Chains A and B, each alone.
Chain A
Amino acid sequence: MHTHHFHHYIFIAASLLIGLYFVGVIRSNKKFKKWQFNRTLYWVIGILSITIAFLGPLQNHGDFIMHMYSHLLIGMISPLFLSLAQPLTLLLRNLPVAQARQITSILKSSYFRIITHPVVAMIINIGGLWFLYTSSLIYVMHEVFIVNIVVHIHLFLGGYFFTISVLSIPPLPNRASFRLRAITLILFMALHSILAKWLYANPLFEDVASVQKGAMIMYYGGDIVDVLMVISLLYDYYKPSKREIVFTKKAESLN
Chain B
Amino acid sequence: MTYIFYKYGKYEDEQYFSEVFRMNIDRLNFWSGLFWGLGFVAFLDEMVFHQLLHWHHFYDKSTTSIGLISDGLFHAFSWFATVASLFMVADLRRKNAWNKKRWISAALIGAGGFNLYDGIIQHKIFKIHQIRYNVEIIYYDIVWNGLAAIILMIGILLLKQSKVRTGEI
A interface, CB within 8 angstroms of B: 31-32, 89, 92-93, 95-97, 100-101, 104, 168, 170-173, 175, 178, 182, 185-191, 193-194, 197-198, 200-201, 216, 219, 223, 226-227, 230-231, 234-239, 241-244
B80 adjacent to A185 (CB under 8 Å): yes
A194→B8 contact, CB < 8 A: no
Chain B: interface size category? 35 or more
- Decide if A241 touches B16 in the complex (CB within 8 Å): yes
Find out whether the CB atom of B76 lies under 8 angstroms from the CB atom of A237: no
B11: chain A residues within 8 A (beta carbon): 241-242
A-B contact pairs, 23 of them (CB 8 A): A92-B4, A93-B5, A96-B3, A101-B4, A104-B6, A170-B8, A170-B10, A175-B13, A178-B15, A185-B80, A186-B77, A188-B76, A189-B76, A190-B73, A193-B72, A194-B71, A216-B58, A236-B10, A237-B16, A237-B87, A238-B87, A241-B15, A242-B14
Distance of B56 from chain A, by nearest CB (Å) = 13
Q: Residue among B9, B58, B63, B71 with the most chain A CB within 10 A?
A: B58
Q: What residues on B are CB-neighbors of A189 within 8 Å?
A: 75-76, 79-80
B83 within 8 A of A: yes
Closest 6 pairs between A and B when the two form their complex, measured CB to CB: A189-B76, A194-B72, A170-B8, A190-B76, A241-B14, A190-B72
A115 CA to B73 CA in the complex, in Å?
24
In contact, B8 and A172 (Cβ under 8 angstroms): yes
B76 CB contact (under 8 Å) in A168, A186, A197, A244 = A186
| Residue in B4, B15, B63, B77 whose CB lies within 8 Å of A237 | B15
